[in-house]
Amino acid sequence: MAYSEKLLDYFQNPRCVGEISDADAVAEVSNPVCGDVMKLWVKVEGDRIHDAKFKAQGCSAAIATSSYATEKLIGMKITDARQISKEEIAQALGGLPASKIHCSVLASDAIRKVLKGF
Amino acid sequence: MVPVFTEQFGNASSIHWFGQDAKSLIDDARREVAKLINAETSEIVFVSGGTEADNFAVRGTKRGHIITSKIEHHAVMHTCKDLEKQGYDVTWIGVSADGVVDPDDVRNAIRPETVLISIMHANNEIGTIQPIEEIGKIAAEADVYFHSDGVQSTGKIPVDVKKLGVDLYSISAHKIHGPKGVGALFIKKGTTLKPIMTGGGHERNRRSGTENVPGIVGFGAAARLAREGLSHDMARVQLLRDRLETELKRQVELIHINGENAKRLPNTSNIMVDYAEGEGLVISLDLKGVAVSTGSACSSGSLEPSHVLTAIGKTPDEAHGSLRFSLSSMTSAEDIDYVLNLMPGVVSRLRDLSPYYKRV
């Protein structure tokens, strides 16, 4: 599979990796079929996401899209963050085949799950 | 091969002189391929590759019950599945945790209506060598045709079709550094096999279609080189492979070698890395110029983990972190050093990203 340079950059130099010890919410999502997993920590201030960090175990696309989405999340309004779609994330990183979007883009589900209580 | 494209481009079926030149080139190649596996020249049928050889063997045998294993190459596996859909009865033999077929399981699966046993010589993913000689004896006693896919083993270990007791044996040129798109099926003298390619009756009515003369010539040359270099090259390759595995186990915690306790090809190493995903490892290594493959579902379009790793009892999670290194006579000690320098960093980088991994 030919990945875009941007995706490979996010895979090799992922942004926002880590954990937030005093996070306001943590969520974990996984793909039961292939086993990829993403864990997302957020700090919320008012109606905005103040900070976000992630960890992931999965293919290069899973890691890159998780990193990209986590980075994008910081500073976003909670209501807007909930609207982020898998396709949008994949598109921003140069696009992915349909099957790969379904299995590797865990971030949109993680975002909705972590923001459930807000 | 080059002169065959540019000067000696005759059709081997033609009786004029340049056709006959091509025919004699094919005859030379056939002798080399036969020699590599200790067959008679008349027992070698050139085909388009390992997949066609496997299809020919399995589909060409008369209708009846087939015995095969759960770790066959897709060329045998999907062909048997297709025949199952057409109403054939197929028994799928399992393997040990180390990836080896038990000959007794084959013996017990034989029925009066069994027509074919198809068990690969060496597995393409984990390299385990199957007890072909024992199964050959069982097949002969039961008077059942025995096919073995030797695509992976030929050129890596000595192959003697007479000693193995096979009736049909598939080989592929590109697996022995020959050109892609050409292979051969060994058909033991006296074996009745229905052609799957019908037409002008080439290859003594066994495989129609104008011969791929350049491919066959390249195959012949590769077969000669493989035979001449086999014992020397593969002894060296095995030392390199063993060093790769020993050092990886020493330098990287939580890795496992598949088929470690079985007899294996000297060039194959299939390892599982806990807390890292195979496709991510492949891409990381690829970016540094190292080409490896994985049995992880994430690398396959079907999202299914490798059927071989599943057959040796690995869960999808375990198969998730599998990597296959394939060495060859062209692999150098420096190549192994390079990989050994790279792997600990690549693995620990991915593990540091994992929410499950805790550094010990």
- Burial, B358: exposed, middle or buried (Cβ in 10 Å; 0-12, 13-18, 19+)? exposed
Active-site option among A48, A103, A109, A112: A103
CB contact under 8 A, B352 and A35: no
The verdict on B279 touching A (C-beta cutoff 8 Å) is yes
Give the predicted TM-score (pTM) of the model.
0.94
Interchain contact, A35 vs B316, CB within 8 Å: yes
* C-alpha span between B239 and B233 (Å, rounded): 10
Q: Does residue A59 carry a catalytic annotation?
A: no
Tokens for B292?
């490896």
Determine the pLDDT at residue A1.
Answer: 58
Question: How confident is the model over B234-291, as pLDDT tens digits?
Answer: 999 999 999 999 999 999 999 999 999 999 999 999 999 999 999 999 999 999 999 9
Q: What is the phi-psi region of residue B36: left when phi exceeds 0, alpha when psi lies from -120 to 50, beta otherwise? A: alpha
Percent of chain B with pLDDT over 70: 99
Instruction: Give pLDDT, residue B302.
Output: 66
Which residue positions in chain A have pLDDT lower than 50?
Answer: none
Q: Do B279 and A11 touch (CB under 8 A)?
A: no
Q: What is the pLDDT of residue B303?
A: 72
Q: What is the dihedral of CA B291, B293, B294, B297, to 10 degrees?
A: 110
What pLDDT was estimated at residue A102? 76
State the nearest Cα–Cα gap between B283 and chain A, in angstroms.
7
Q: Can you give the pLDDT of all 360 residues of chain B as single tens digits?
A: 888 888 887 888 888 888 888 899 999 999 999 999 999 999 999 999 999 999 999 999 999 999 999 999 999 999 999 999 999 999 999 999 999 999 999 999 999 999 999 999 999 999 999 999 999 999 999 999 999 999 999 999 999 999 999 999 999 999 999 999 999 999 999 999 999 999 999 999 999 999 999 999 999 999 999 999 999 999 999 999 999 999 999 999 999 999 999 999 999 999 999 999 999 999 999 999 999 998 887 776 667 889 999 999 999 888 889 999 999 999 999 999 999 999 999 999 999 999 999 865
The pLDDT tens digits for B289-341 are 999 998 887 776 667 889 999 999 999 888 889 999 999 999 999 999 999 99
Catalytic residues of B: 298
Asked whether the beta carbons of residue B298 and residue A17 sit closer than 8 angstroms, the reply is: no
Question: Of B35, B60, B49, B48, which is closest to residue B168 (Cα–Cα)?
Answer: B60
Residues 6 or more apart whose Cβ sits within 8 Å of residue B173: B49, B179, B180, B181, B182, B183, B215, B218, B219, B222, B223
CA A32 to chain centre: 17
- Whole-number pLDDT of residue B27: 96
Return the bridge partners of B186, or none.
Answer: B44, B169
Residue among A55, A60, A99 whose CB faces B301 most closely: A99
For residues B240 and B248, the answer to whether their CB atoms sit within 8 Å is no
Q: Is A16 a catalytic residue?
A: no
Distance from CA of A34 to the nearest CA of B (A): 5
Query: How is residue B299 annotated by DSSP?
Result: G
Contacts of B284 in chain A (CB under 8 A): 12, 60
CB atoms within 10 A of CB A109: 16
Point out the residue among A37, A60, A104 whose CB comes nearest to the CB of B355: A37
Q: Which of left, alpha, beta for B80 (phi over 0: left; psi -120 to 50: alpha)?
A: alpha
Pairing of β B65-69 and β B114-118:
parallel
The CB-side HSE value for B26 (13 A sphere, CA atoms) comes to: 25
For B356, the closest of A57, A59, A104 (CB atoms) is A57
